[in-house]
Amino acid sequence: MPLPRHDADASLDPQDWDAFRALAHRMVDDSLAFIRDLPDTRPWQPIPGEVRASLTGEPLPMAAQSPEVAYEQFVREILPFTNGNRHPRFWGWIQGNGTPLGMMADMLAAGMNAHLAGLDQSPKLVELQVITWLAELMGMPTTSSGLLVSGGSMANILSLAVARHAKAGFDVRTEGLHAQPRLTVYASVEVHSWAQKGVELFGMGSASLRKIPVGADMRMDLSALRATIAADRAAGMRPICVIGTAGTVNSGATDDLNALADLCAAESLWFHVDGAFGALARLSPELAPMVHGMERADSLAFDLHKWMYLPYEIACFLVRDPEVHRATFALTPSYLRDEGRGVIAGGIPFADRGPELTRGFKALKVWMSLKAHGVDAFTQLIEQNVAQARELERRLRLMPEVEVVTPVTLNIVCFRLVRPGLTGEQEDALTKELLLRIQEEGTAVPSGSQFDGRYIIRVACSNHRAKWEDFELFLRAVSRISGSLVPH
Ligand SMILES: *Cc1c(COP(=O)(O)O)cnc(C)c1O
């Protein structure tokens, strides 16, 4: 086929703006109605076979079908069949719910399609403002450098890149790890899986991640940490970083961050804190003491799409020393040089703080949400979630067949079924059956995990839509279903 004529004037904008506007308004109205009516729906339902087939077996659409047709299929086949994390009774893993305002802010950001490498534009100023606000919220110096990224894993991994650059003792950007001593990183056995992905991705190897045991309180054993660092140094390795966790994914425990900060200062190690959700506890005067010491971190990573409830994807990492942050990633090709004037004035500060060049306007939903709701609203919701977790623990402890397996320190409740005369394996099977029935009958979505080799049900309260009556419903289901379960 020959190319079209140069004056063909094709574009992806609507040909009929009025029709498109009507569809767009319907999209907004339907989305808001769906969120409003969530309490009347089941958190999760299986995908019907015909929907599964329709969504996976369709030929590549070469010809236009109209946006209305695509949208109607979305409403029928996609919208109702999610994993359910928007629902008030979703308490699985640690997921956020999103907010109507966050949804609209993301729509506005997508409409602006701003390019957030930097450049001289208001969206850049908004991201800088948001980073300063977040540093203030977290107790880090407001002169800290930071970047908004897709999630906690990315925020932590990029922080680790800064740590390595700062503490390797040689020019890791130029030399790589060629013929250098092994660089080692320390975290508790409860550290999230990003840490292993990170050291593997950086070519350090998973053997560079030294996992330190925890005590009964699920916090890193400090004498084991000291001993491992000393032994590694003696063996010719080069320790570079200790990762403390504020709110572990399994139990919500927080390492002794002040002790880790002291140790890092004494040992000249980088102190990184993974505060994916736990860092947000700092908003509450009552809960803040649990994460004390976090503000002494060299770098701190936290999600805004978990315990700040914003729509995916949004997380942040902060680096105390802006120069070290820049030095880890900055690389300015001639076509991106700051001319001090014009569109490129001010350069590309965000591209210099991470590996991505083209980035979207993630900051808008943070900026708008903080302004519209105010910090106090988030503080209140975080406290509400912790109060829910505490009351749920208390109620579960009253149930004869239930054992609460880890202390509830923050917002995560872990329990299993126990029954006299049954083996641990039989109790595991009952516990798993209880979890899956609660999910499948559409009551609620907690998740499963392992603790001390035993199967557990894990209820994570990071849901701004959950009301106490939702937990009452769940408690009734636990006692009804567990009473009917017969061991094999
Ligand atoms: C969820 C979580 C992460 C990973 O964050 P994502 O946003 O899922 O990438 C890291 N650490 C902890 C403690 C977490 O709970």
Residue 89 placed within a domain: no
- 75-79, 98-102, 294-298, 329-333, range with the lowest pLDDT: 329-333
Give the pLDDT mean for 106-117: 98
Q: CB of 320 within 8 A of CB of 166?
A: no
* Residue 478 in contact with ligand 1 by CB distance below 6 A: no
235: confidence class by pLDDT, cuts 50, 70, 90: very high
* Residue 244 in contact with ligand 1 by CB distance below 6 A: no
Residue 39 placed within a domain: no
Rg (CA), the chain: 25
pLDDT at res. 351: 96
pLDDT at res. 178: 87
For the CA of 315, the nearest atom of ligand 1: 7
Same domain, 307 and 271: yes
Residue 221 placed within a domain: yes
pLDDT at res. 336: 84
For the CA of 246, the nearest atom of ligand 1: 13
Same domain, 250 and 362: yes
- Ligand 1 centre to CA of 316 (Å) is 12
Question: In this structure, which residue's CA is closest to atom 14 in ligand 1?
Answer: 276
pLDDT at res. 105: 98
CA dist., res. 94 & res. 157, Å (int): 19
pLDDT at res. 332: 83
Same domain, 407 and 260: no
Residue 52 placed within a domain: no
* CATH code (residue 279): 3.40.640.10
* Residue 462 in contact with ligand 1 by CB distance below 6 A: no
Task: Report the 10 Å Cβ neighbour count for 160.
Answer: 29
Mutate to test the pocket of ligand 1, among 149, 153, 245, 412 (most ligand atoms within 8 A of CB): 153
Q: With 90 as the cut, is the pLDDT of residue 287 above it?
A: yes
Mutate to test the pocket of ligand 1, among 160, 194, 461 (most ligand atoms within 8 A of CB): 194
Single residue among 310, 340, 373 that ends a domain in this structure: 373
* Residue 151 in contact with ligand 1 by CB distance below 6 A: yes
Same domain, 291 and 421: no
- Ligand 1 centre to CA of 313 (Å) is 12
Same domain, 330 and 398: no
Same domain, 357 and 389: no
Q: With 80 as the cut, is the pLDDT of residue 1 above it?
A: no
Q: With 90 as the cut, is the pLDDT of residue 406 above it?
A: no
Which percentage of the chain shows pLDDT scores above 90?
93
Total domains in the chain come to: 2
* Residue 152 in contact with ligand 1 by CB distance below 6 A: yes
Q: With 80 as the cut, is the pLDDT of residue 265 above it?
A: yes
DSSP string, 413-443: EEEEE--TT--HHHHHHHHHHHHHHHHHTTS
- Output the CA–CA distances (angstroms, integers) from residue 153 to 133, 279, 315, 430, in the order listed: 22, 15, 9, 33
Same domain, 133 and 240: yes
Same domain, 342 and 324: yes
* Residue 194 in contact with ligand 1 by CB distance below 6 A: yes
Mutate to test the pocket of ligand 1, among 294, 306, 310 (most ligand atoms within 8 A of CB): 306
Single residue among 373, 391, 415 that ends a domain in this structure: 373
- Ligand 1 centre to CA of 294 (Å) is 16
Residue 275 placed within a domain: yes
Residue 10 placed within a domain: no
CA dist., res. 120 & res. 122, Å (int): 7
Question: pTM here?
Answer: 0.96
pLDDT at res. 348: 94
pLDDT at res. 244: 98
Residue 103 placed within a domain: no
CA dist., res. 110 & res. 396, Å (int): 44
Same domain, 239 and 182: yes
Same domain, 333 and 382: no
Residue 58 CB contacts under 8 Å (≥ 6 apart), including other chains: none
Same domain, 310 and 389: no
334: confidence class by pLDDT, cuts 50, 70, 90: confident
Residue 183 placed within a domain: yes
Give the pLDDT mean for 209-231: 97
Q: Is the bond into 433 cis (omega within 30 degrees of 0)?
A: no
Question: In this structure, which residue's CA is closest to atom 12 in ligand 1?
Answer: 276
- Ligand 1 centre to CA of 247 (Å) is 10
* Residue 245 in contact with ligand 1 by CB distance below 6 A: yes
* Residue 328 in contact with ligand 1 by CB distance below 6 A: no
* Residue 465 in contact with ligand 1 by CB distance below 6 A: no
**Mean of pLDDT over the chain:** 96
Same domain, 322 and 337: yes
Mutate to test the pocket of ligand 1, among 83, 94, 255 (most ligand atoms within 8 A of CB): 94
Give the pLDDT mean for 457-472: 98
pLDDT at res. 381: 98
Single residue among 373, 398, 418 that ends a domain in this structure: 373
The burial of 169, by beta-carbon neighbours within 10 Å (0-12 exposed, 13-18 middle, 19 or more buried), is given as: exposed
Q: Which domain holds residue 221?
A: 114-373
* CATH code (residue 427): 3.90.1150.170
Give the pLDDT mean for 358-378: 98
Q: Residue 155: CA atoms inside 13 Å, Cβ hemisphere, count?
A: 29
